[in-house]
Structure 1
Amino acid sequence: MVSINKPPRRTATRLTAAAAGIALLATGAVACRSRPAHHTPTAAAGGPAPAPRSMGLRDAPNARDLGGYRTTDGHEIRSGVVYRADALNALTPAEQQTLTADHITQDLDFRSPVEVATAQDRIPAGVRRTALPVYNPDSDMARTMGEVVKGGPAAQQKLLGDGRGGQLMTSYYAWLVSDPGASREFGAAVRDIADGSGPVLYHCTQGKDRTGWMSALLLTAAGVPRATVDQDYLASNHYLQAANDHELAQLQAAGKVKDPQLLEPVLGVRAGYLDAAFNEVTAKYGTFDSYLRKGLGLDRATEQKLRRRLVTA
């Protein structure tokens, strides 16, 4: 069994390739290992291990099965049907075999062109990648955050200091709901999952913001209660903690980061961020069902197919 509490061995910092939605990434390779088993990891310092099933990928520590959650009407989200993940660019051949063993047929990639150019997915030949870029071409967050990290402590204080990092994230989550382009790509992802015949994986860079909202909307559409949706969302802090701490320490040692607390709001997730997305759903669409129909462009038939795919009978 591979412990996800060990930071991935990387050749470049995840922070210098910050993604739209401020998801961050590193490129690099590690030695091949035997296929890790699915497991719930041991608890990290500061709290118990979250419930979601990890895929056990050291080089994609936030990759996990979305299944196993109970719905409000007593059913359960199917395991082995939908997977959420962070970047797949550093997967070893052995880790790629995990995707094959799980019969994953499609890789839905929410990353921007800048992120993809920096680090292309390493996936098995039998997995079809579909580009569904969720980003603002007029204000590319990947480029902005990369410049902020390279700019050092002064640039970080200017953009993220005095609570501005958290405010930036809150605004970004509202944008995930309100932006027509983002809604178009999320809607396409939902249709791909609803129409799929095999297991599907979707991801961004850290697997916490765009992937976090996609997971929240899927679970909500399937009838999972909000408290459980929040649990799945906040679990990213557990899975990403070791790698984030490791890389922040490296940046501090190199003099590129003076106050790591400035970057913490953009490296992790907070309940308030997800609140901002759901609040935007209410403000713009009135109800979540209306968001699915008017925002994502889903018809009733697609919603029904999605539920049949996700929920046990």
Structure 2
Amino acid sequence: MNSFRLLAAVCLTTTLFNVCYAEDSRHVSLTGQSNFRDVGGYKTKDGRKVKRGHVFRSGELPRLTDEDVAQLEQLGIKTVVNFLTVVETESRGKDRLPQNVREVSLPIETEDGLAAAIEEARRTADFSSMPPSINLEIHRLLVDNAREQYAALLKEIAQSKEPLVFHCSHGVHRTGTATAILLWSLGVPWETVREDYLLSNKYREAEVKKRLAQLRVLLAKKQNIRPDEVDMTNIEAFYIQKGEYIDATRDEIIKQHGSIEGYINQGLGLSAKEFNSLKEKLLQ
């Protein structure tokens, strides 16, 4: 079984097992998914802390090894919330999970078909219609287009009695936005929320380098030019995240609702009772 990455280890007790983490990392080392992390451990503005071992964020899970699946079982995960569309799942495959894990499908697709366009760009390496600014637009659109899914996720977290993980394809845009909304609503400072978002660059670095190299070669063949002549601006902007991308989520929420509390109540439709249940579940 793969081991957790350990430096100065800190241990916690889940409902089933003792699990150790690195003091400076919430990352869970899996062979088949590089961006699997605990969202807990962050301090809030009022001095409390988000509990560890309750909620995890990730990219897709079809390529997990047997050892990876055993780690999910060791973490005690009993619910997986999946933001992928039917088309994405058909092309990428179903998640590999421990037995008796409940799967909740909350597919997120923008009204203008942006998710489908992005999937096509990934397949063909043609990002000509995906300028760097599209990344900010994705996060702005998710504030509205994914309200139903994000509301359902927060309710799942509040009601879940055992650990839960939510994911999209890479654990970046849809999952990153969901995580930002969750942490910000719990009182985690935005600077910390932003840093958590950018950690995807760290954990996906090897994967991204490999994918960028593949896309460069593919595009060079299509354009009949040398690989070093390929303009990678749009592609790199999509695969390498910047803080301004998630800042667009914050700015859109403030523009529409005035505050994260307003968004939780008016945008997502959570009652004060439901939101208090979420905070009671995750804050210590």
Q: Work out whether the TM-score is over 0.5.
A: yes
**Contact 1:72 1:224 (8 Å CA) reproduced:** yes
Aligned equivalents of 1:59 and 1:266: distance in 2? 22
Residue 101 of structure 2: which of 114, 127, 130 is its match? 127
1:169-200 Cα deviation digits (max 9, x unpaired): 11111111122xx1011000000000110011
Residue 265 of structure 2: which of 288, 293, 306 is its match? 293
Relative to structure 1, the CA distance from residue 52 to residue 76 in structure 2 (aligned partners, 3 Å threshold; closer, same or farther) is same
Deviation at 1:138, TM superposition (A): 4.6
Q: Does 1:171 align with 2:171?
A: no
Please give the secondary structure, in 1, of the residue aligned with 2:57.
strand
**Contact 1:40 1:54 (8 Å CA) reproduced:** no
Aligned equivalents of 2:118 and 2:3: distance in 1? 33
Number of positions where the alignment pairs a residue of Structure 1 with one of Structure 2: 262
Aligned equivalents of 1:150 and 1:102: distance in 2? 33
Show the 5 A alignment for 1:272-291: 272-291=244-263
Deviation at 1:126, TM superposition (A): 2.1
Which one-letter code corresponds to 2:42 in the other structure?
Y
1:83-137 Cα deviation digits (max 9, x unpaired): 0001101001110111100000100001111111112111111211100111126
Aligned equivalents of 2:257 and 2:105: distance in 1? 27
Task: Tell me the residue number matched to 1:89.
Answer: 62
Aligned equivalents of 1:39 and 1:129: distance in 2? 30
Aligned equivalents of 1:50 and 1:230: distance in 2? 19
Aligned equivalents of 1:150 and 1:66: distance in 2? 30
Which one-letter code corresponds to 1:208 in the other structure?
V
Aligned equivalents of 1:148 and 1:35: distance in 2? 33
**Contact 1:40 1:53 (8 Å CA) reproduced:** no
Show the 5 A alignment for 1:1-313: 34-39=1-6, 51-118=24-91, 119-136=93-110, 138-142=112-116, 144-152=117-125, 155-156=126-127, 158-160=128-130, 164=131, 166-179=132-145, 182-254=146-218, 255=220, 258-312=230-284
Which one-letter code corresponds to 1:176 in the other structure?
L
Aligned equivalents of 2:250 and 2:207: distance in 1? 29
Deviation at 1:140, TM superposition (A): 4.6
**Contact 1:52 1:232 (8 Å CA) reproduced:** no
Aligned equivalents of 1:268 and 1:39: distance in 2? 26
Deviation at 1:148, TM superposition (A): 3.0
TM-score (norm 2): 0.86
Cα RMSD after superposing both structures: 2.1
Which one-letter code corresponds to 1:231 in the other structure?
E
Relative to structure 1, the CA distance from residue 250 to residue 191 in structure 2 (aligned partners, 3 Å threshold; closer, same or farther) is same
Higher relative contact order, structure no. (Cα contacts within 8 Å, ≥ 6 residues apart)? 1
Relative to structure 1, the CA distance from residue 96 to residue 292 in structure 2 (aligned partners, 3 Å threshold; closer, same or farther) is same
Which one-letter code corresponds to 1:225 in the other structure?
P
Aligned equivalents of 1:91 and 1:301: distance in 2? 37
Relative to structure 1, the CA distance from residue 51 to residue 296 in structure 2 (aligned partners, 3 Å threshold; closer, same or farther) is farther
Please give the secondary structure, in 1, of the residue aligned with 2:165.
strand
Please give the secondary structure, in 2, of the residue aligned with 1:247.
helix
**Contact 2:31 2:65 (8 Å CA) reproduced:** no
Identical columns (%): 31
Please give the secondary structure, in 1, of the residue aligned with 2:103.
strand
Please give the secondary structure, in 1, of the residue aligned with 2:41.
coil
Which structure 2 segments of 5+ residues have no match? Answer: 9-21, 222-226
Relative to structure 1, the CA distance from residue 53 to residue 129 in structure 2 (aligned partners, 3 Å threshold; closer, same or farther) is same
**Contact 2:110 2:142 (8 Å CA) reproduced:** no
Aligned equivalents of 2:150 and 2:123: distance in 1? 31
**Contact 1:86 1:205 (8 Å CA) reproduced:** yes
**Contact 1:85 1:202 (8 Å CA) reproduced:** yes
Aligned equivalents of 1:235 and 1:289: distance in 2? 25
Aligned equivalents of 1:219 and 1:125: distance in 2? 29
Deviation at 1:40, TM superposition (A): 6.7
Q: Structure 1 segments of 4 or more deviating over 2 A?
A: 38-41, 49-52, 145-152, 250-262
